[in-house]
């Protein structure tokens, strides 16, 4: 990966270091000189924003772990102790809790950007799959983190989700007991979730490193999806994109700070201010908003399919929904990457976004009509989009003519403006 | 700057928002036991500029101490909190004297009990949850520590979206205020019928409340006009000794118990937001300068 | 009057635009640095003792029940503290010691409060390596540390053994004859 290297060690010390461990050379190549398409729009800043989100969660999380007690008798009060007695604890705790939501806002935007601009297509399949892995790991981390305050939603969320394992035929109950460390959610569960919640972010960080590595092999996709032809199409990452990304981060921090300081609990649920009680279920269990689309798909299967009962069916559907993301590079075989030049795709993509938001909305509603029917319709469309619409569109759609290069497209835009 | 693809995304997002709006307007199956919607009160601590009213918190504390605390605990409230800035702001001498009126458990003290000091937490009226249930007809009086945040109001669409922009966080006190004013001596005519159509049956020992889920609440009406004597303010103005006033004051106090750092949190928030807006402006300027020579 | 040529003007314009740009960069960098510092400080400050710990930084203790010749050990800031009601004999012994005999010279008056000489209040950790000395033992009618054999006298001063300093007297004051505030 040294083809872009322009690094010349200035001093004898730098030369000495460069011969042994070329970190400076590596940083210069990948963080400064890396040729980046010059037409990236602001949707592309969410990668950097996500790195920031991960950093914020790790730093605030390490601090919270200094004061938190993973014990069913003490966990709830220890979180309140952080809010009440630790210097700045209210804000640090709120940053971590709101930060989880902001992380998913950025994550979904980043993924939907990739889905629209065809960033998953060759030669970026591995890059995309690593991204899906990060999404799944983040979901697991967030889910386990939500257990830790040991409120009613924590407890019942853990109970409901851990029952997913019991849907597995034959060994389901054994696996559930293995995961929980008991017959129901309890102290062993809380302890191991705390341990894993602390571990997983570092694994996520490692996968992020691979994700960026996989990005730096083919280089960035871009809004027109046309490959970089020559150096006129690119600018060095620094200072152009470092500055643009930093600006994006600061903008992103404004709504982040709004929630942290003015409405820290608005994204949570009041029931989580009631300590966990295994004898009383809250009247309406809702997962955190970012899990809702998949939760809706899980709930939508309320009927048996042949020999598969509804419970296992729901779990399979939810797993399938995530698996669709993994294989999308091979479902959408259109040679044109960017949705900008795909007149039919754009409409279906729009419907898909709306459908996804609808799935999210439906997950928060009670299991009653008309929501249950709508949930089935939206679930069906979700799968239809990946399994039928994308493959068929790839065959029948006539794309608009592509610009020959990024430079040409940029100049064309200027002419229109 | 904004490419064709970008425009397309904007349109899509607007379309998505419109569809969600449509979905949300769909007829909502009203749960049978849902009562009237608690009315929003004009809380001093509401909105992004709100701060606690020290006098109101002191009155609310008086109501809590003289009425509520005989059944409800508040085990995370320390006596010292009562002198914290942004709270009721009693003097240290007042708090120390107040603490001495209470006894707390201390394994190292003679007989296991000793007078409280400011560092101690508010002693619970019952030794255990079971004892509390036994003394209250089987119903557990909930702890007050975070109760104001553990209760909320479910707003219909689109109000809950506006709440994100108005930072409405006062559902808890609104509900508590409504609950304290929502008692009926007898089951009202318009009480919801049960699912099989029979009229509302109030179980023995329960009380009818408009706002309590299911309407049958174990707690007897705790407040009534005149039950707490408010001291006259220094300037001679008297605060009305009414149920309405008591319930507002105690709900405000409960919000403070649940969120004691609300005032300093918002103050920091203003500094942070002003900084971020300013910094974003500078960043934008810098970014523009750097990109000035590049066609993109 | 001298009129500038065209070249001069454009150089000047370039100059001022360079200055504006540099100013913008410096301003952005400076504001960013201030912001970073403002974020880092609370992240470090949270390590400090929290409000519930600070609330116990100063305690009040009623000494009335302690009879002459008795001591109690109480906890202050997580440390054991001796409160000793000394006998007149112990006080006399302590006052009679010549300064020259002391490893860490300090008068008995300096270790007690005027008018309350019978009360000796000290942090109960040996100044050698932190063990708790045993009361009313050792060769000087005071305390003896069993860990490494330090002897303290009836004013808690080190007399023999490896400890370098006298037992530490915490900050305290008498709020009344029977109520003492430590810390």
Q: Are A261 and A137 in contact (CB under 8 A)?
A: no
pLDDT for C137 equals: 87
Q: Best mutation site among C50, C53, C54, C57 for testing chain A: the one with the most A CBs within 10 Å?
A: C50
Report d(CA B228, CA B224) in Å as an integer: 9
Q: A19 to chain B, minimum CA–CA distance in Å?
A: 33
- Architecture of A33-416 per CATH? Up-down Bundle (1.20)
Asked whether the beta carbons of residue A361 and residue B213 sit closer than 8 angstroms, the reply is: no
pLDDT for B232 equals: 79
Within this chain, do residues C36 and C101 fall inside the same structural domain, yes or no? no
Q: A263 to chain B, minimum CA–CA distance in Å?
A: 5
Within this chain, do residues C31 and C89 fall inside the same structural domain, yes or no? no
Report d(CA A204, CA A198) in Å as an integer: 11
SS3 C120: strand
> Tokens representing A106?
């950025």
Report d(CA A414, CA A38) in Å as an integer: 14
Scanning every residue of chain C, which has its alpha carbon at the shortest distance from the alpha carbon of A246?
A: C32
SS3 B273: helix
Residue B61, beta-bridge partner list: none
Which domain does C66 fall in, by range? 53-182
Within this chain, do residues C79 and C8 fall inside the same structural domain, yes or no? no
> Tokens representing C57?
């930084």
State chain C's mean pLDDT as an integer: 88
Is the per-residue pLDDT at B241 higher than 80? yes
Within this chain, do residues C92 and C35 fall inside the same structural domain, yes or no? no
What CATH number is attached to the domain comprising C156?
Answer: 2.102.10.10
Angle, in degrees to the nearest 10, between helices A152-162 and A125-147? 130
Q: Are A296 and A362 in contact (CB under 8 A)?
A: yes
Which entry of C85, C116, C128, C148 is annotated as an active-site residue?
A: C148
Within this chain, do residues C25 and C74 fall inside the same structural domain, yes or no? no
pLDDT for A417 equals: 47
Within this chain, do residues C112 and C39 fall inside the same structural domain, yes or no? no
Greatest alpha-carbon pair distance for chain B in Å reads 82
> Tokens representing B205?
């020992």
Report d(CA A365, CA A376) in Å as an integer: 14
> Tokens representing C88?
């007149």
Q: Are A157 and A111 in contact (CB under 8 A)?
A: no
> Tokens representing A295?
């939760």
Query: Which ipTM score applies to this complex?
Result: 0.92
Report d(CA B254, CA B241) in Å as an integer: 19
Phi, psi angles (nearest 5°) of residue C121: -120, 120
Q: Is A230 within 8 Å of chain C by CB?
A: no
Asked about C148 being catalytic, the answer comes back as yes
Within this chain, do residues C101 and C173 fall inside the same structural domain, yes or no? yes
Among C116, C111, C113, smallest CA distance to C156 is for C111
Consecutive sets of 10 residues in chain C, 183 residues long: mean pLDDT of each?
A: 48 66 90 95 95 91 91 91 93 90 91 92 93 91 92 93 94 92 92
Q: C45 to chain A, minimum CA–CA distance in Å?
A: 7
Within this chain, do residues C91 and C161 fall inside the same structural domain, yes or no? yes
Within this chain, do residues C40 and C57 fall inside the same structural domain, yes or no? no
Report d(CA B155, CA B152) in Å as an integer: 9
pLDDT for B10 equals: 57
Within this chain, do residues C75 and C96 fall inside the same structural domain, yes or no? yes
Residues in chain B: 296
Any idea what the Cα angle at residue A269 is, between residues A268 and A271, rounded to 5°?
Answer: 145
- Residues of chain A positioned with their CB less than 8 A from the CB of B260: 84
Any idea what DSSP says for residue C98? Answer: -
Report d(CA A291, CA A101) in Å as an integer: 10
Asked whether the beta carbons of residue A266 and residue B276 sit closer than 8 angstroms, the reply is: no
> Tokens representing A84?
């009440």
Q: Identify which has the larger pLDDT, B259 or B17.
A: B259
pLDDT for C83 equals: 94
- The residues near A166 (Cβ < 8 Å, ≥ 6 apart) are A172, A173, A175, A176, A311
Report d(CA A361, CA B23) in Å as an integer: 9
Within this chain, do residues C16 and C58 fall inside the same structural domain, yes or no? no
Angle, in degrees to the nearest 10, between helices A89-117 and B262-291? 40
- The residues near A226 (Cβ < 8 Å, ≥ 6 apart) are A337, A338, A402, A403, A404, A405, A406, A409
Q: Which residue has the tokens 């940083």?
A: A27
Provide the whole-model pTM. Answer: 0.90
Phi, psi angles (nearest 5°) of residue A47: -60, -50
pLDDT for A408 equals: 86
Q: Identify which has the larger pLDDT, B27 or A265.
A: A265
Domain boundary assignment for chain A: 33-416
Q: Is C50 within 8 Å of chain A by CB?
A: yes
> Tokens representing B278?
């300013």
Task: State the DSSP string of B8-52.
Answer: HHHHHHHHHHHHHHHHHHSPP---TT--PPPPPP--TT-TTT---
> 3-state DSSP: chain B helix, strand, coil percent, rounded to 5?
45, 5, 50
pLDDT for A192 equals: 97
Task: Give the residues of chain A that fall short of pLDDT 50.
Answer: 1-2, 417
Within this chain, do residues C62 and C141 fall inside the same structural domain, yes or no? yes
Neighbours of chain C (3+ CB pairs under 8 A): A, B
Total structural domains in chain C?
2
User: Among A43, A247, A370, whose Cβ lies nearest the Cβ of B287?
Assistant: A247
Report d(CA B106, CA A374) in Å as an integer: 58
Among C162, C80, C85, C96, smallest CA distance to C129 is for C162
């Amino acid at each position: 990966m040294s083809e872009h290297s322009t690094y010349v060690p200035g001093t004898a010390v730098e030369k000495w270091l460069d011969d042994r461990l070329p970190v400076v050379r590596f940083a210069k190549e990948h963080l400064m000189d890396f040729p980046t398409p010059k037409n990236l729009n602001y949707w592309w800043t969410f990668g950097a924003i996500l790195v920031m989100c991960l950093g914020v969660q790790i730093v605030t999380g390490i601090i919270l772990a200094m004061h938190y007690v993973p014990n069913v008798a003490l966990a709830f009060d220890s979180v309140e102790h952080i809010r009440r007695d630790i210097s700045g604890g209210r804000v640090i705790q709120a940053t971590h809790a709101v930060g989880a939501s902001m992380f998913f806002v950025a994550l979904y935007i980043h993924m939907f950007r990739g889905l629209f601009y065809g960033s998953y297509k060759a030669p970026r399949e591995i890059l995309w799959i690593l991204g899906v892995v990060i999404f799944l790991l983040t979901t697991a981390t967030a889910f386990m983190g939500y257990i830790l305050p040991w409120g009613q939603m924590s407890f019942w969320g853990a109970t409901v989700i851990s029952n997913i394992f019991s849907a597995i035929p034959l060994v389901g109950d054994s696996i559930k007991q293995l995961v929980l460390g008991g017959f129901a959610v309890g102290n062993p569960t809380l302890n191991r979730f705390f341990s894993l919640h602390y571990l997983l972010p570092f694994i996520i960080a490692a996968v992020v490193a691979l994700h960026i590595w996989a990005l730096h092999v083919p280089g960035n996709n871009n809004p027109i999806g046309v490959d970089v032809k020559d150096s006129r199409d690119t600018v060095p990452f620094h200072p152009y994109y470092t500055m643009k990304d930093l600006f994006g981060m600061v903008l992103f921090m404004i709504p982040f700070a709004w929630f942290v300081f003015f409405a820290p609990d608005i994204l949570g649920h009041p029931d989580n201010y009631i300590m966990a009680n295994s004898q009383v279920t809250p009247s309406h269990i809702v997962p955190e908003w970012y899990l809702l689309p998949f939760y809706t798909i899980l709930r939508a299967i309320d009927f048996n399919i042949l020999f598969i009962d509804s419970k296992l069916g729901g779990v399979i559907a939810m797993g399938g929904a995530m698996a669709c993301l993994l294989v999308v590079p091979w479902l959408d075989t259109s040679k044109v990457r960017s949705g900008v030049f795909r007149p039919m795709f754009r409409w279906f993509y729009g419907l898909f976004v709306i459908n996804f938001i609808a799935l999210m909305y439906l997950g928060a509603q009670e299991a009653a009509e008309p929501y249950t029917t709508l949930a089935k319709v939206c679930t069906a469309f979700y799968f239809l989009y990946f399994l039928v619409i994308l493959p068929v569109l790839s065959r029948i759609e006539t794309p608009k003519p592509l610009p020959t290069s990024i430079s040409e497209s940029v100049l064309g835009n200027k002419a229109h403006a | 700057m904004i490419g064709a693809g970008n425009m397309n995304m904007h349109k899509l997002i607007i379309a998505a928002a419109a569809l969600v709006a449509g979905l949300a307007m769909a007829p909502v199956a009203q749960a049978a036991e849902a009562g009237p919607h608690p009315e929003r009160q004009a809380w001093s601590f509401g909105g992004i500029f709100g701060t606690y009213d020290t006098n109101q918190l002191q009155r609310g504390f008086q109501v809590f101490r003289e009425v509520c605390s005989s059944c409800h605990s508040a085990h995370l409230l320390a006596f010292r909190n009562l002198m914290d800035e942004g709270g009721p702001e009693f003097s240290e001498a007042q708090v120390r004297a107040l603490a001495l009126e209470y006894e707390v458990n201390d394994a190292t003290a003679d007989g296991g009990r000793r007078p409280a000091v400011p560092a101690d937490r508010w002693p619970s009226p019952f030794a255990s949850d079971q004892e509390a249930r036994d003394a209250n007809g089987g119903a557990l009086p909930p702890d007050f520590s975070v109760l104001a945040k553990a209760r909320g109001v479910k707003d219909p669409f689109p109000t809950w979206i506006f709440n994100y922009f108005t930072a409405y966080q006062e559902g808890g006190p609104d509900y508590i205020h409504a609950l304290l004013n929502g008692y009926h001596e007898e089951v009202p005519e318009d009480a919801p019928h049960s699912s099989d159509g029979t009229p509302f049956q109030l179980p023995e020992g329960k009380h009818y409340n408009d706002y309590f889920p299911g309407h049958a609440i174990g707690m007897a009406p705790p407040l009534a006009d005149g039950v707490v004597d408010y001291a006259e303010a220094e300037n001679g103005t008297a605060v009305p000794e009414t149920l309405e006033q008591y319930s507002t004051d105690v709900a405000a106090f409960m919000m403070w118990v649940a969120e004691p750092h609300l005032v300093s949190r918002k103050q920091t928030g203003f500094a942070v937001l002003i900084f971020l807006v300013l910094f974003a402006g500078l960043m934008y300027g810098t970014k523009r300068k750097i990109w000035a020579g590049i066609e993109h | 009057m001298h009129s500038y040529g065209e070249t001069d003007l454009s150089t000047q314009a370039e100059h001022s635009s360079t200055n504006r740009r540099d100013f913008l960069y410096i301003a952005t960098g400076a504001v960013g640095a201030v912001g970073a510092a403002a974020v880092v400080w609370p992240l470090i400050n949270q390590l400090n003792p929290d409000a519930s710990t600070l609330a116990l930084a100063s305690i009040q203790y009623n000494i009335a029940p302690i009879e002459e010749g008795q001591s109690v050990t109480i906890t202050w800031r997580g440390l054991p503290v001796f409160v000793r009601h000394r006998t007149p004999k112990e006080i006399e012994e302590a006052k009679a010691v010549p300064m020259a005999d002391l490893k860490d010279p300090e008068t008995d008056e300096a270790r007690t409060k005027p008018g309350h000489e019978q009360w000796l209040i000290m942090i109960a950790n040996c100044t050698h390596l932190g063990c708790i000395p045993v009361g009313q033992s050792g060769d000087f009618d005071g305390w003896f540390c069993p860990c490494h054999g330090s002897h303290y006298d009836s004013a808690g001063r080190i007399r023999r053994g490896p400890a370098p300093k006298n037992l530490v007297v915490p900050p305290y004051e008498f709020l009344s004859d029977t109520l003492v505030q430590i810390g």
